[in-house]
Amino acid sequence: MTTKIFILGATGYIGGAVLSELKRNHPEATFTALARKDEDIQALEKIGVKGVKGTFLDTDKIEHESHEADVVINAADADDMGLVKAIVKGLKSRKERGERSSGTGLLNNNYNGELGPEDGKIWNDNDIKDIAGIPPDAHHRDVDLEIFAAHERPVY
């Protein structure tokens, strides 16, 4: 069975590098990517990637492609709640679990240079108490919490 991969951000620096490596290491997989511009769609199709024209506001398209995919990679915007909800809804309609990886920016306590109550803490991502204990107002945290909650909800 061929693995279907849907990638958002494939025309960007990180997403493009991820797509290139995946295509090189998994030539048997099929790839679909969301892109805003016709020229980007054409460039994707030249390298064997199915292009879907749209933006993050096209949540029906994103939900559909996420449902169809075995793997969804969001290398575009980790903080767009509507985008994340569409991805999760599509995945959840077909799969029980997903994985999210985001940056460590959510561990920054304070952006004005003052020490906060958590400064100096050594975070352990293997300790569920550490992950659960990240404050709800931390950077990216609202999206993380939405994804955690989606796991607890029944299929939409």
CATH number at residue 88: 3.40.50.720
Domain contains 60:
yes
Asked whether 28 and 3 are in contact (CB, 8 A), the reply is yes
With 50 as the cut, is the pLDDT of residue 150 above it?
yes
Domain contains 53:
yes
Average pLDDT over every residue of 89-94: 84
Domain contains 58:
yes
Domain contains 26:
yes
Instruction: Give the pLDDT score at 143.
Output: 75
Domain contains 125:
no
The span from the CA of 89 to the CA of 156, in Å, is 7
Say which residues have a Cβ less than 8 Å from residue 35's Cβ, sequence separation at least 6: 10, 11, 41, 44, 51, 52, 53, 54
156 pLDDT band (50/70/90 cuts)?
very low
Domain contains 122:
no
Number of structural domains found in the chain: 1
pTM value is 0.74
Name which of 19-23, 45-49, 149-153 the model is least confident about. 149-153
The span from the CA of 80 to the CA of 47, in Å, is 28
- Owning domain of residue 9: 4-102
